[in-house]
Every structure is written in C-alpha cells, then in structure tokens.
Amino acid sequence: MNRSELLKQIRIRARITNVESEAFLKAFIETVYHELQENGEIKILNFGKFRKVVLKPRTIKVPGSKTEKKIGARNTVRFVPFSFLKEVI
C-alpha cells in the first residue's frame, strides 16, 4: 500500500474528505517524528511501538573490492508490533 492508497482508505473508513485525510496523516506523521525526537518512543495501543535505536559504529567490506569502510554510529527507528496486531496478521 502506498501513500495515496492509505489516504483513500482513511477517507473511506473515517468518512472524511480528501483534504481532511491528508491533514490527519500529516499530523500523525509529524507527531511520531516529534515524539521520537523528544522521548525516543511512541506506543499505539493494539498496534505497536516505534522507538529510536542507536546503531554502533562498524566496519564493512565494500563489494567488488578488498577495501573496508568505517560507518559511524547513527540513529534509526524500530517498530515492534504488539501481540494483538500479530494475531490479526
């Protein structure tokens, strides 16, 4: 499912206009961004948990050559589905 299909499903299921569904999705995404930056975690009941994780620095081998490259520490986001979501799927 891509963004336009998601917006269509939100519009149909919530019985709102296309503009309202766009505003809802934008607000949801901005809220997740903000909470991850401020608190590092956001939990949505019966859905799952987004959390910020710091990956350690590491060394990789470059494909096609014998050289190695260092990758510094970086932040990423992990999603852990709650058991209710796992059962539904």
pLDDT in tens, 28-70: 999 999 999 999 999 999 899 999 999 999 999 988 888 999 9
d(CA 10, CA 77): 24
Half-sphere exposure of 73 (CA within 13 A, CB side): 3
**Residue 4 clears pLDDT 90, i.e. is over it:** yes
**Residue 24 clears pLDDT 90, i.e. is over it:** yes
The contacts of residue 42 (CB under 8 Å, 6+ apart) are: 31, 32, 35, 36, 49, 50, 51
* CATH code of residue 83: 4.10.520.10
Domain that holds residue 19: 1-38
If asked whether residues 75 and 50 sit together in one domain, one would say yes
If asked whether residues 45 and 88 sit together in one domain, one would say yes
Quote the number of domains for the chain: 2
Six token digits for residue 57: 């620095």
If asked whether residues 15 and 50 sit together in one domain, one would say no
